[in-house]
Amino acid sequence: MRALLSGYYGKGNGGDEALLATLLQMLPSHVTPVVLSGNPEETRDRYNVETYDRMAPLAVLQALRSCDALIWGGGSLIQDVTSTISPFYYGGLMALAQKMGLKTVAWAQGIGPLVRPQTRWLARQTFSNCTKISVRDRASAALLSDWQIPCIIAPDPVWALESKPVPGLWDLPAPRVAVTLRSHPQLTEKRLANLTRALVDFQKATQAFILLLPFQKSEDLSIAEAIQPHLKNVSQILCLEDPQLLKGVFRGVEMAIGMRLHSLIMAAAEGCRCFALSYDPKVNRLMEDLEMPGWDLASLPDDPNLIGLTWMEHYANGDPLSSEKIQSLVDGALLHSELLSEAFS
């Protein structure tokens, strides 16, 4: 059996690459993956899979015709807040696959926000015609329940991604703290300046070596480059493309300060203390589920001293997740794997 995998793949986003890596890890052995990618050559070389250009209509149609199933592969694909085009691209692809008679699986979805009536209608239609559906949060499950569409709910699959050790990481000074910030309208110049000042104070107080981790170079690298000159000789920008290595970084880190959802999931999964800076409901949901400390960026304190002191307090006295809690989240995430086995049995 051949399954076409569709997601935000090949766009240099560490979280979406981690979802793809986990999906490939969880796919039953008798299913051959074919991946739609924004960078087909890179995806083919990294994962040793057949690939097609996700934005080339004829190539996408050819890929659909050659496959028996389509998997919507994880993450917030069906939402219309950051992009109005995105839900129509993914929804249109799913509707086409269903019309062609392919088995369709919505895997590890985070659905919404859906503010436009047209996108809500399209989402409801396509989800109702899926063979199997798994979601990664309560809000998505509640939306499908309102629509009377059955699904399973399980923790984000990336909890179960196998990490790899990062060459050279242990040669860097210890203790280490990882920081992942991304560009976003809520991360204003003033807030970034306050976070940078707080980070400088925090580093001096803790003597930690700061790892600046861009999860998506196009969005995050310029922010890391703006911060680093303020932390000369006590920081390093670490750009890693392989999601298993990205997760592996957190094996050697005492604490993570992160905006990106998957930076916080990876860090928590590797037994790291975490502090969240939320720009999106999905990060708030993770904070609630794990009782993770943090701030909404919109309500970030104006005082860098207060930010720095809060981080120091968490660094000194905060607890990572217990090994039992991590194991239960990993076990829960494997429900996404069981769903694939059932869909393709």
- pLDDT, mean of residues 67-92: 90
Q: Which residues in 13-40 are b (16+ Cβ under 10 Å) and which e?
A: bbbbbbbbbbbeebbeeebebbbbbbbb
**What proportions of the chain, in percent to the nearest 5, are helix, strand and coil?**
50, 20, 30
| Residue 279 three-state SS | coil
| pLDDT for residue 80 is more than 90 | no
d(CA 182, CA 257): 12
DSSP state letter for 215: S
pLDDT for the residue 323: 97
| pLDDT for residue 82 is more than 90 | no
The first and second tokens of residue 66, run together, are 């050659």
DSSP string, 173-188: -SSEEEEE----TTS-
Closest CA to 205 of 80, 104, 342, 304: 304
The first and second tokens of residue 305, run together, are 């001293």
Residue recorded with tokens 């399973």: 152
- pLDDT, mean of residues 57-78: 95
| Residue 109 three-state SS | strand
pLDDT for the residue 273: 98
pLDDT in tens, 116-132: 999 999 999 999 999 99
Average pLDDT of the chain?
Answer: 96
| pLDDT for residue 311 is more than 90 | yes
pLDDT in tens, 253-276: 999 999 999 999 999 999 999 999
The DSSP bridge pattern shows strands 235-237 and 255-258 to be unpaired
Written as one letter, the residue type at 110 is G
pLDDT-wise least confident of 39-48, 72-81, 142-151, 330-339: 72-81
Closest CA to 37 of 11, 67, 68: 11
Q: Count CB neighbours of 194 within 10 A.
A: 20
For residues 153 and 138, the answer to whether their CB atoms sit within 8 Å is: yes
The first and second tokens of residue 100, run together, are 């062609």
| pLDDT for residue 83 is more than 90 | no
pLDDT for the residue 81: 83
Which pTM value belongs to this model? 0.95
Give the CA-trace dihedral at 111, 271, 227, 287, to 10 degrees. Answer: 40
| pLDDT for residue 85 is more than 90 | no
d(CA 247, CA 269): 9
